[in-house]
Structure 1
Amino acid sequence: MKSAAFIVLAAGLSASAGAQASGVEAGKWSFSAFGGVDMPTSGDVHSGATAPIPDLGPLNPALSGVSAELRIQSRSHDRIYDLADTYGLEMGYGLSDRAELFGQVRYSHASPGRVQVGGAFVPALDTELPVYGRFSAYKSYSAEFGYRHFFMEPGSARPFVAARIGASRTDAINASFDIPDASISIPDARFTKKTWSASGGLDVGVIVPVGKTFSFIAQAGVRYVDKLDGNDADIGPLGLGSINDKGQRVSVPMSVAARWDF
């Protein structure tokens, strides 16, 4: 886990008293701060396509009159992006000593990633040159509402399950494409637009009372963010306007949280 997650936990521990927390209760509010990681497991950043390029001259004057065929293959989130940092805040309202409703805001960030996205077949050379893509950081802001159900009796560590649904805004993504063997570079091509998408997930975890009003939470789950809107302004003229109509993401979030009940 990231250092911020441990800071969240330490802040709660320092504020706790010796008695156990009562936890969720009917009519009782709670506030939580959490931090952790979000691991992509499936979903494509882009799909595949084959596009003929009659003349490479506009991309490299030294190759004027030379044709090629771009052969782009699909690439998934887990091939391009590493673990994302994720942080957020939550407010909860108890329906009973076993159930609560909650609202959550979350921020996720994954660093830029570079991968071979396919090849450029050059008939004149009877060879395929590797094509690389570097994609800008993945940044997502989410607002979701959900329901959480607790098991076992209050006053001790209690497992729970939760479901949530809402919307996520993903920042625009740019992509730089390079064919090093042909000295061709297309820097900072617009790839996806800033997009609002449906999102949601399921979580399992445990809440551990530490003080009179403080609890520690550890949880993991599965999360889905729907597809993004493609931006064809730069890649459309290359015949690649269809590859950026993907972007949906399935991931496994894991986090720790500090919770205060009042």
Structure 2
Amino acid sequence: MSKTFAATAALAVLALAGAANAQTAPGTWTLSLEAGSEMATDGDVHEGAIAPVADLGPLNPALAGVAAELRIEPRSYDDIYGDAFNVGFEAAYGVSENAEAFGSVRYVKSDEGTVQVGGAFVPALATTLPVFGTFGDVETWAVEAGYRQYFGAGAIRPYVAGRLGVAFTDSVAATFAIPDANILISDAPFYDGSTSLSAGIDLGVSWRVNDTLSLQAETGYRYVGELEDDDSAIGGLGLASINNVGDRTYVPVTLRAKFAF
């Protein structure tokens, strides 16, 4: 909530300023530094599944011969990770006084999160034991190109932009635990290193501070495609289907400083 408030306040401050100068010009270059946060709006880290386990003995020898049924529920990026943060840089080329083409590189990280992912029903005990999952950091590099269109003629101008690119996400491991049964599966491969499509639409406000510096506050809607699943550890439990997802949509809140040369 505080990040959203800060971004809204920044937009409001920019909207109150005013002067008459162009913010881009044909044939000019700018370099930018940016940072912000990303709020997941849709997308699951894993889906749900029901998987019978005939014998818990391989997971805990004390439970040899005891059967169970794993009842895994879907969990979203927001459930597990909450907001991500990003940093990046951008190079832009002025196409006209109101438009520019740009290329950017961004690093995005979601810190590891722990959540109850479901339960293990044990018929012999007539009870369901909670199952927890701890999912490792999600680290992504996105390389994108796009086009930004400005409106108006003052120092304060709104803009829209579109972008398309490729996202490179590192492998993700997960640790699963059933504490009441003394069962722990540590650092199980969950997603392999992946290359995915990335795309987005941006809405923002740009403030030309002087001939060298412009500041931008931006939001929008972004998409990153599915990740490559790794079932080497969970497939034997009948859970190979739960990580056939990994795509997500999110709303970014970004602040950018642009330097003209």
By the TM > 0.5 criterion, same fold? yes
Distance (Å, rounded) in 2 between the aligned partners of 1:186 and 1:252? 33
The equivalent residue for 1:123 is 123
Aligned pair count? 248
Q: Does structure 2 conserve the Cα–Cα contact (< 8 Å) formed by 1:22 and 1:212?
A: no
* Percent identity (aligned): 50
The equivalent residue for 1:13 is none
Unaligned stretches of 5+ residues in structure 2? 4-18
Q: Which amino acid aligns with 1:235?
A: I
1:39 CA drift (Å): 1.1
Change (3 A) 1:110 1:21: farther
Distance (Å, rounded) in 1 between the aligned partners of 2:209 and 2:21? 6
1:21 CA drift (Å): 6.0
Unaligned stretches of 5+ residues in structure 1? 3-18
Runs of 4+ displaced beyond 2 Å: 19-22
Q: Does structure 2 conserve the Cα–Cα contact (< 8 Å) formed by 1:166 and 1:199?
A: yes
Q: Which amino acid aligns with 1:198?
A: L
**1:97-120 deviation line (CA, Å, top 9, x unaligned):** 111110010000111000010110
Q: Is the partner of 1:26 in helix, strand or coil?
A: coil
**1:208-223 correspondence runs (5 A):** 208-223=207-222
The equivalent residue for 2:104 is 104
* TM-score, length-scaled by structure 2: 0.91
Question: Do structure 1's residue 198 and structure 2's residue 200 form an aligned pair?
Answer: no
Q: Does structure 2 conserve the Cα–Cα contact (< 8 Å) formed by 1:21 and 1:215?
A: no
**1:130-149 correspondence runs (5 A):** 130-149=130-149
**1:66-122 deviation line (CA, Å, top 9, x unaligned):** 000101111100000021110000011111111111001000011100001011010
Q: Does structure 2 conserve the Cα–Cα contact (< 8 Å) formed by 1:22 and 1:213?
A: no
The equivalent residue for 1:28 is 28
1:41 CA drift (Å): 1.4
Q: Which amino acid aligns with 1:30?
A: T
Q: Does structure 1 conserve the Cα–Cα contact (< 8 Å) formed by 2:32 and 2:90?
A: yes
Distance (Å, rounded) in 2 between the aligned partners of 1:163 and 1:111? 27
Distance (Å, rounded) in 2 between the aligned partners of 1:212 and 1:98? 16
Q: Is the partner of 1:95 in helix, strand or coil?
A: strand
Q: Does structure 1 conserve the Cα–Cα contact (< 8 Å) formed by 2:23 and 2:98?
A: no
Distance (Å, rounded) in 2 between the aligned partners of 1:202 and 1:180? 44
Q: Does structure 2 conserve the Cα–Cα contact (< 8 Å) formed by 1:21 and 1:210?
A: no
* TM-score, length-scaled by structure 1: 0.91
